[in-house]
Amino acid sequence: MLIDAWRYILAHPDRFGDALWRHVTLSAAALAIAATIAIPLGIWLAGQARLALVVINATNLGRTLPSLAVLALTMPFLGTGFVPSLFALTLLALPPILINTYTAIRQVDPDVIDAARGMGMTQREITRRVVVPLAVPVIAAGVRIASIQVISGAVLAAYIGGGGLGDFITAGIAMMQLPLLLVGAVPATLLAIGADFLMGRVQRSLRPRGIA
């Protein structure tokens, strides 16, 4: 069956390449937009205790929503295709990044901040040169969780016309053609595992030197 799946890919390199490219661009775009919104928002929220309580609780609830339900809910309002899928996947990527950024900033040792202030650093310098570098590994962990969720969610985007590798799976199930199903399922799995591995490396390399 795997050989048949491989033959299908060799026979339709364009179709497979398009789906894979679509899957990667959809996931990467959703992740990039979510990170651009959630990281600055999380840093800012860390200084707003009262507002943060409300936003973080709401975000925690958002985290529990089933991916497919979120994708399905965008369809009646935004229709089908790339943009609605991108919107839904961005929503799914926001909570883990926001929560990890907020937690990361709050976790920074107050003694370290005091020491930086004692050295004459301004609040701005403390944020940019002390707090954020110390928080980066935890923020990267949030991006890593989000990337897995987005790649997994992008498989489901096939249902709302988002394209990607999920198209092969839905077509394979509909026609009960097992090799076709594997053309979608195996690369999607490898993509998720590969992204997790890669993000794990990035996460480790971002750990500031001299900090245990």
Binding residues for other proteins (CB under 8 A)? 1, 61, 63-70, 72-73, 75-76, 148, 151-152, 155-156, 159-160, 165-166, 169-170, 172-173, 178, 181-182, 184-186, 188-189, 192-193, 196
101-120 as b/e: b if 16+ CB within 10 A: bbbbbeebeeeebeebeeee
The helix-helix angle for 67-78 and 132-156 (nearest 10°) equals 70
DSSP 111-165: HHHHHHHHTT--HHHIIIIIIHHHHHHHHHHHHHHHHHHHHHHHHHGGGGT--ST
Give the 3-state secondary structure of residue 47. Answer: coil
In this complex, which beta carbon is closest to other proteins, that of residue 200 or of residue 208? 200
DSSP 80: S
